[in-house]
A and B are shown apart, each in its own frame.
Chain A
Amino acid sequence: MSAPNLIVAAAPHLKDRDTTPRIMWTVAASLVPVLLTSMFFFGVSAFLVVLAATFGALLTEKWLGRPRSLRDGSAMITGLLLGLSLPPGIPMWMAFLGGFFGIAFGKAIWGGLGQNGFNPALIGRAFLQTAFPVAITTWPKAGGDFFALKGDLFAFPFMSAAPHAVTSATPLGLFKFEKQLTPIVDLVLGTTGGSTGETSAVVILLCGAFLAWKGYLNWRSPVSIFVSVFVVGYLLHFINPGRAPDGFFQLFSGGLMLGAVYMATDMVTVPTTNKGRWIFGSAVGALVVIIRVYGGLPEGVMYAILIMNAFTPLINRVTHPTVFGTVKLKEAK
């Protein structure tokens, strides 16, 4: 027998086939149906906004990230999610800038993948919300010609005049400022005004279910958010029906689905323990409803998740399971 060249390594010698890039690219791929649905409602504008945001995120990752970090696919997810959380009529340069800001200040300066405390896509969006409050709350109407631009998409940076598009308020805005309730069927199907990817609950839930089945998404955070939003929503509704809409409306309106399924499940910025995920999700759900009902803004998903991101290390610390064989020790003492 000829002597083969042997590898010598420490145990274990086997490895599960899932890798970080595989998880990240699968999550990114699962956002494609969401984008397609969005294009169905908002036409080519949705695609252009997501493209600009993704381009911004990827270029920044290439520029500021660690060598070859583009391959792990995480910047792709950030770009897609940011694009999907913006209104489809926002100028492309703003979306691009959001992608840059999200990666540069939400991820790269912390040390890249795995080191950031806050969701990079939401950091990018929060920046845009502060910097361009008008553009990011200008919601074009769904439907119409596929190739008709929904806003001043190709506006030159810092030069844009007032938006020209036909706008409509989001269901949450309608309720908050005009006390108008949008029918639940429209919310579920997504035929309402809103952000690029904030519209069809059904598609997002299906994509989330696929990821959960693959084991790439921990179902505990989204489920606890749903339950919490529903319960807290109805609680406030019964206290003050004029001010707070019912739980179903809360559940299917705004960015809740996208946030719960894709942003509150970002492995890096949510707790690692299952118990922690329940706590995280419940708190996010409660915060969302509270911000929506009592806050100045009609939507609260972004800030709710960002606030709870800050609590992730603490939640991790207090929810760590008891080490095997130490329960009895404590009793004995």
Chain B
Amino acid sequence: MAFFGFQHGVHPPEEKGLTSGLPIRRMPYPDEIILPLRQHAGKPATLCVKVGDYVERGDPVGHADGYMSVPIHASAAGTVSAIDLWPHPDGSYAQAVHIKVDKYALQAARPRLVPQWEGLSTEQVVKAVQNAGVVGLGGAAFPTHVKLAPPKDYAVHTLIINGAECEPYLTSDHRTMVEYPERVHFGCRVMMHTLGVAKAVIGVEKNKPDAIEALERTKPKDLDITILPMTVKYPQGAEKMLIHAVTGVEVPSGKLPVSVGVVVQNVGSLAAIAEVFDTGLPLLERIVTVTGHGLKRPANLIVPVGTKMKDLLAYCDGVTPDAAEVIIGGPMMGQSLANLDAPVIKGTTGVVVLTTDQVRGEQVYPCIHCGRCLEACPVFLNPSWLGDLARIKRYDEMAENHLADCMLCGSCSYVCPSNIPLSQLFQASKVALRRQQQAGAA
């Protein structure tokens, strides 16, 4: 463990001060909840309600479709008013269940058994977590139960918990660590027990001293949990960068973290696991940072999954006149939103509203070979060269030059003085390459 950071990377303005000091508050239930059946990586859930059904808070509206899938639960009691295609935060349309929220419901979940994790086998814990619909809350929404049961041919020795939160603006993980450190530790305990690992490391960027302090204060005496302060740098929270910071090992190109014996989980997901084994409730709500200089009242909110972005922004007193772009997730890797009717889903870490003078300009200059993108790329690619290849559509050659290792962190596009949309080109090239390969295989 030579150093707690990685080479290269960039330093975008953090802007976390807008919300880092604001306690998490609960947002009231909106009038309507919209639950897309596709909210996680893997297969979408299968519908199990019909129009007119009355659902209590916590009832499933969609069942898991196989192992690589999780169920979707109603985040508020009410009547299923429609099932249709609805704007999804990723820009597409997806099948979604509309629930007209019952204004007079107590919003108390049905009485349920709380699973006693100490007595459960690995399979039973995995099943309980899957049934609760828990997914990675760091943004990718990878089903958490899959990570609890890694392939048997790998020996997992360390659980790494991602509290880096390196994206500018976002503070939901930060506030979770400050306000619910016990939940993080409890979730960590369950995960360590299930994975059978003796060692866990929580990586936190040094710009969150209060989070580090809270985690240290509440650290259980009987577990080997290390809280590791890390260099403040983007993308410190990228899985492979985090593993490198903690273990000093580079995850081989094209391999999963488990191949070097680690499993990585986000702090928010640990808190969600804790919730399952604490109250028995499935994942119904999440902490969302609603922020940006284009927003009138930034906040950290507990938001019921399915709340429309429109309602969320309105609760924060709306946007300023110079608001230009609404981003789901952080401004480095998040997606900009075209339709404010799209709902908050399980993977929504934050909503950032940028102003006109913050968004990228349109004027692009020729590449001057300054080498800044090479200095920025955390995986040591040559973005300048890849960008040239992308423009002449030589995707095969890009693949030979390790396009697959690009994680689309956006560092190259951020530093490029000529404003060349490098990361954007790579994203498009990855899609084009996949289509080419599929066409070749067919």
Contacts and interface: CB of A to CB of B under 8 A. Distances in A.
Nearest to B367: A114
A3 interface: yes
B386 to A, nearest CB: 11
Nearest to A115: B366
B380 A12 contact: no
A4 B253 contact: no
A291 B240 CA distance: 49
Contact of A18 (B255, B405, B417): B417
A4 B323 contact: yes
A11 B337 contact: no
Interface string A304-333: 000000000000000011111111110010
B304 interface: no
Contacts of B402: 323, 326
Nearest to A331: B252
Given A23-B417, A323-B381, A325-B255, A13 B336 contact: yes
A205 interface: no
Interface string A1-42: 111101111111111101111110000000000000000000
B361 interface: yes
A12 B331 contact: yes
Q: Which of B12, B168, B324, B368 has the most C-beta atoms of chain A within 10 angstroms of its own C-beta? A: B368
Given A8-B338, A272-B369, A323-B379, A15 B354 contact: no
Contacts of A320: 382
Nearest to A19: B417
Find the residue from A7, A21, A22, A329 having the highest chain B CB count within 10 A: A7
B335 A11 contact: yes
B366 A14 contact: no
B253 A13 contact: no
A218 B371 CA distance: 10
Contacts of A290: none
Interface residues of A, number: 45
B413 A322 contact: no
Nearest to B427: A10
Contacts of B416: 15-16
Contacts of A114: 366-369, 418
A113 interface: yes
B358 A14 contact: yes
B423 to A, nearest CB: 6
B365 A113 contact: yes
Interface residues of B, number: 70
B200 interface: no
Chain B interface secondary structure, helix, strand, loop or mixed? loop
A297 interface: no
A19 B414 contact: no
> DSSP majority for the A interface?
loop
A3 B337 CA distance: 12
Interface string A123-152: 000000000000000000000000000000
Interface stretch (B39-47, B94-102, B191-199, B310-318): B310-318
Given A9-B359, A13-B331, A323-B379, A1 B168 contact: no
Contact of A14 (B250, B253, B331, B380): B331
Contact of B319 (A4, A8, A11, A271): A4
Interface in A260-301: 267-268, 271-274
B89 to A, nearest CB: 12
Interface of B: 10, 12-13, 91, 168, 240, 244, 250-255, 310, 313-314, 318-319, 323-327, 331-338, 340, 354, 358-361, 365-371, 374-375, 378-382, 384, 402, 405, 408-411, 413-419, 421, 423-424, 427-428
8 contacts: A6-B337, A11-B423, A13-B325, A114-B367, A272-B384, A321-B374, A324-B244, A325-B250
- Complex A-B, nearest 5 residue pairs according to Cβ-Cβ distance, in ascending order: A12-B410, A272-B371, A324-B379, A114-B366, A325-B253
Given A9-B360, A113-B366, A326-B402, 5 more contacts: A7-B359, A11-B332, A272-B370, A322-B380, A325-B240
